[in-house]
Amino acid sequence: MVTTTPEKYAARLTELEALHHELETGKRPGDGAVVVGLLLEAAGDVLRRRAALNAKSANLNKPLGAIPELALRSWGDGVQVEELASRLKRAASQAVESALPDSVEDGEAMAQWAVQDLQARDRLESALVALEALAGTGRKDAAALVTRLRTAVGGVDKVCRAGVASLTALNGARRAEAALIDQEYRGQAWWYSERTGIDDDQLVKVLGGEVKGSMPSEFRSANSEVTRKRGRPVSFDDLLRFDLGLASPGEKEVIRLQADADPELKLSLAAMEAAEAAIAEETAGEVAVPQSAPVSIPVERSITPEIIEERAEFKVLLFRTKKAVQVVVQPHRLDRLAAAAVYRSDEPDRPFPSAPGDMGIHFDLGAPERLVGVLARIVVKLVDGQTHAFEARL
Amino acid sequence: MLNDDELFADIARRKALGQDYKRPLGELVFRWRDASTTVIRRVQGAFMRGSPDDADEIFQDAVAKFMAKGLDQFRGVSEQVPGKAASPKTFFLRIVKHCAIDRYRRQREELDSGRGVGEDDDEPETSLPEANRSISEARALAEQQEAHGEYWKSWERLKEEHPNEAAAWDLYHHQDLDDHEEVARALGITVVNSYKRVSRAQAWLKLYILEARKREEGSSEEN
């Protein structure tokens, strides 16, 4: 069960004071972008929850006004809107898994991770609201930045909001969060507030056929489309993958089942064998050359990583390729990172070896087919002794 | 003159660097033309259909597929199943083989699907009620096809994002196994897992369809 409490936000005013002080004294090295980000989030959290926090009279102009122009620009340049889109999509996916999990523990973990991703969207919303407040005091740099970010984030929201029905699996946590947000900001926070009626609480389970319940009208035609009996003939790609030895056990079974019932497919398999004999004749005497890639193409560059966690000091990325699954711990600030280790749930006592790479510290966790259902535990230690631990499903 | 492997390495290098590689690729596959014809004939023999004229089209189709995906697939196969791809030539000939098989499989399906092209030409004039019925039937068919299309798009997305669930759904639903014990046996998972995967697949497919419709509505409203 994922819980959320007003206490989580109650400390925001105190944090705001501390961050304001930190900004003014310039205690942290660097351009201050990290502190600016945290300050904007804290201020926005208060601005959007004044009623719940009983902070109607809180004056936020002073801490916001202390934000230097250069540090604000640097923070704005670092906002990764595309990553936000990935996190919202992942939240939608994990929300469904939390409602229809393989085990109770899996369901709880999935729900927690999904809520963490929604919180990331909410933190950015708070920062934007604080930025708007700053722009309202006449700061032109803040006005320009918030316009740019609102446009970019609006694009992400438009795409991800279409999938909000998946988030109904998290309705308990979402309702609790939405209830803390002031009425005027609640509608904008669609990730917490849209489709949170109790009628929708069981929606994902109903869609999955696990629970009998009334199907909302908008889903009725999709439901009949999906449940209508239909076949899927083996395709060109299926046969090629089968021939090349790339077919999964499921794909092989599909071909076997269809060949039993479809003489045409049987004929295709016979043709495959006959033509293979011709290929063997045509290539007889050729020496198979080792097929290393003629030009080294870094695997990491060709795919988009999943972001497991992002903090001011580091980012944890998960790369999946057909060949390997890799975790990369990417320090934002080398002087803050002390150590990182990665463990697999099937070998919980063995830290995986790391290697320095061009993106950070790389941990190769093995081939994806061996990692089904396995969790990775990533532990990152900072120089001040703080330890952060995260989990990711591989 | 570069040998096949050297020429193929040159093509892969050009592709990785974003340079034009069509000319050397054309030269390379031209060397394999005769071998391709032999493979195509063998497929024709197995299907007992086809003519020498087909070979040209099949060869062009194979070249297009090799250019579109084959170069990357070859690298993937070499890495995942060492020895299976053997050489670029062997790999290309396998694509030729599958293009030929696909062509003759499709031809049979078209023959089986009933009336051929041109059979509508001599239809008598229709009355107004008949025309109206034809229009509504055509509309119903178009709607059905559209819905059919959105289902398969969602299916492709499921395969991409959740391959395990897609595999279970494919067996349970598309292949009509309708039995979780059978699905579990085929996939090497537990019966409970099979049940859960099928449930998730079903939920995702419905959610994807609704999501696509909502995006479509959003775009229409903007336009």
pLDDT at A1 over 70: no
Average pLDDT of A231-258? 87
Q: What share of chain A is helix, strand, coil (3-state, %, to 5)?
A: 55, 15, 30
Amino acid at A41: E
Say if residue A45 is in the same domain as residue A148.
yes
């009623």: which residue's tokens? A51
Amino acid at A146: V
A286: pLDDT confidence band, cut at 50, 70 and 90?
low
pLDDT at B122 over 50: no
pLDDT value at residue A308:
81
Q: Is B83 on the interface with A (CB under 8 A)?
A: yes
CA distance A145 to chain B (A): 25
pLDDT value at residue A151:
97
Put simply, the chain A residues between 163 and 182 with a CB less than 8 A from any chain B CB are 163, 165-166
Instruction: Give chain A's domain count.
Output: 3
Q: Is A367 on the interface with B (CB under 8 A)?
A: no
Burial degree of B124 (CB within 10 A; 0-12, 13-18, 19+): exposed
Q: Answer yes or no: is A191 within a domain.
A: yes
CA atoms of A92 and A114, how far apart (whole Å): 7
Flag if B47 and A271 touch (Cβ within 8 Å): yes
pLDDT at B205 over 70: yes
CA atoms of B67 and B59, how far apart (whole Å): 12
- Please, what sign has the CA dihedral across residues A96, A99, A104, A105? positive
pLDDT value at residue A244:
83
pLDDT one-digit tens code per residue, B72-103: 777 656 555 555 556 888 889 999 999 999 99
Of A159-168, A366-375, B168-177, which range is least confident? A366-375
The CATH code of the domain that includes A368 is 2.60.40
Say if residue A266 is in the same domain as residue A318.
no
pLDDT one-digit tens code per residue, A288-308: 433 322 222 233 333 567 878
pLDDT value at residue A288:
43
pLDDT one-digit tens code per residue, A268-279: 999 999 999 999
> Could you give the angle at the alpha carbon of A136 between the alpha carbons of A131 and A138, nearest 5°?
105
Flag if A243 and B83 touch (Cβ within 8 Å): no
pLDDT value at residue A302:
38
Say if residue A174 is in the same domain as residue A202.
yes
Strand pairing partners for A362? Answer: A328, A355
Q: Is B82 on the interface with A (CB under 8 A)?
A: yes
Flag if B109 and A264 touch (Cβ within 8 Å): yes
Average pLDDT of A351-360? 72
Domain range for A320 is: 306-393
Q: Over chain B, what is the mean pLDDT?
A: 81
Q: Answer yes or no: is A389 within a domain.
A: yes
Across the interface, of A275, A281, A289, the residue whose CB is closest to B87 is: A289
Q: Answer yes or no: is A289 within a domain.
A: no
For chains A and B, count residue pairs whose Cβ atoms are closer than 8 Å: 219
Say if residue A64 is in the same domain as residue A156.
yes
Q: Answer yes or no: is A50 within a domain.
A: yes
Q: Is A59 on the interface with B (CB under 8 A)?
A: no
Flag if B84 and A258 touch (Cβ within 8 Å): no
CA atoms of A233 and B175, how far apart (whole Å): 9
Average pLDDT of B51-65? 90
Hey, which of A118-132, A286-300, B175-189 has the most confident mean pLDDT?
Answer: A118-132
How far is residue B15 CA from its own chain's centroid?
Answer: 24
pLDDT value at residue A291:
34
Q: Answer yes or no: is A58 within a domain.
A: yes
- Contact list in B for residue A96 (CB cut-off 8 A) is 200, 203-204, 207
Domain stops at, among A207, A226, A245 = A226
Say if residue A188 is in the same domain as residue A250.
no
Q: Is A230 on the interface with B (CB under 8 A)?
A: yes
pLDDT value at residue A313:
73
If one compares A296 and A352, the residue with the highest pLDDT of the two is A352
pLDDT one-digit tens code per residue, A32-65: 899 999 999 999 999 999 999 988 777 788 999 9
* DSSP class of A347: B
Say if residue A247 is in the same domain as residue A205.
no
Say if residue A190 is in the same domain as residue A335.
no
Quick one: which of A275, A248, A281, A262 has its CA closest to B95? Answer: A275
Q: What percent of chain B has pLDDT over 70?
A: 76
Are the beta carbons of A16 and A63 closer than 8 angstroms?
yes
Say if residue A327 is in the same domain as residue A274.
no
A339: pLDDT confidence band, cut at 50, 70 and 90?
confident
Write the DSSP string, A255-312: HHHHHHH-HHHHHHHHHHHHHHHHHHHHTTTPPPPP---SS---GGGGSPPEEEEE-S
Say if residue A150 is in the same domain as residue A177.
yes
Average pLDDT of B194-211? 96
pLDDT one-digit tens code per residue, A317-338: 888 877 788 888 887 665 566 6
Q: What is the dihedral of CA A349, A355, A357, A363, to 10 degrees?
A: -20
Q: Answer yes or no: is A73 within a domain.
A: yes
Say if residue A201 is in the same domain as residue A266.
no
Q: Answer yes or no: is A147 within a domain.
A: yes
Within 10 angstroms of residue A344's Cβ, the number of other Cβ atoms is 20
Say if residue A221 is in the same domain as residue A337.
no
Q: What percent of chain A has pLDDT over 70?
A: 89
pLDDT at A78 over 60: yes
């719940």: which residue's tokens? A52
Say if residue A48 is in the same domain as residue A179.
yes
Q: Give the contacts of A80 (CB within 8 A, at least 6 positions apart).
A: A310
Average pLDDT of A70-78? 94
pLDDT at A169 over 70: yes
Q: Is A275 on the interface with B (CB under 8 A)?
A: yes
CA atoms of A245 and A241, how far apart (whole Å): 6
Q: Give the contacts of B129 (CB within 8 A, at least 6 positions apart).
A: none
Q: What percent of chain B has pLDDT over 90?
A: 43
pLDDT value at residue A389:
79
pLDDT one-digit tens code per residue, A8-37: 888 888 899 999 998 888 776 777 899 999
Within 10 angstroms of residue A92's Cβ, the number of other Cβ atoms is 25
CA atoms of A343 and A371, how far apart (whole Å): 12
Encode burial over A208-239: b for 16+ CB neighbours within 10 A, e otherwise.
Answer: bbbeeeeebeebebbbebbeeeeeeebebebb
**Token pair of A230 as six digits:** 């239909």
